[in-house]
Amino acid sequence: MLNLPVDQIFNVANIFVLPFWGLMVFVPNWGVTRKVMESYIPFILLALTYLYLFAGSINPESAAALSNPQLADIAKFFGDETIAAAGWVHFLILDLFVGRWIYWEGQKTGVWTIHSLILCLFAGPMGLLSHIITAAVTRQFFAGGGSETTTDPSVS
């Protein structure tokens, strides 16, 4: 197995996601943004990073903590840098995936997404909630805006 410094992996993963967020927030209608956001490659690379960190953190103690999670054990579990880095990469992947879904929903429906994407970057579930509320308000109060379609590009 490779022996890469965990802090460097953590730093690279943090920087790696920023261009995708930048494209979705600052130039959402640019053809390049659409093309880049169609790809699953960023998620594959991040998932492989996660797998590397996760596999490097499994030992009998961590396996026991995961098999029957108790808050105190999980808190202790995340005290290890490799495990904390794996958890952080887990957040990065899922937040970016949810952000991508918000982006595509905005592209399909015309619902404004910048605020929800920014929230999603910093606190994924709040960005998701923001988009759900924004889409509902748009449908309810603004005629012609936010019409739903059945095609979901994030699942293609």
Over the stretch 73-114, which tens digit does the pLDDT of each residue have? Answer: 888 888 889 999 999 999 999 999 999 999 999 999 999 999
| CA distances for 87 relative to 3, 46, 63, angstroms | 19, 12, 15
Which parts of the chain register pLDDT below 50? 1, 145-152, 155-156
As a whole number of Å, the end-to-end CA separation of the chain is: 33
Query: Whole-angstrom Cα distance, residue 89 to residue 14?
Result: 8
Radius of gyration of the chain (CA): 18
pLDDT at 2: 58
pLDDT at 148: 47
What is the model's pTM?
A: 0.84
- 51: Cα within 13 Å, side-chain hemisphere: 7
pLDDT at 138: 93
pLDDT at 59: 83
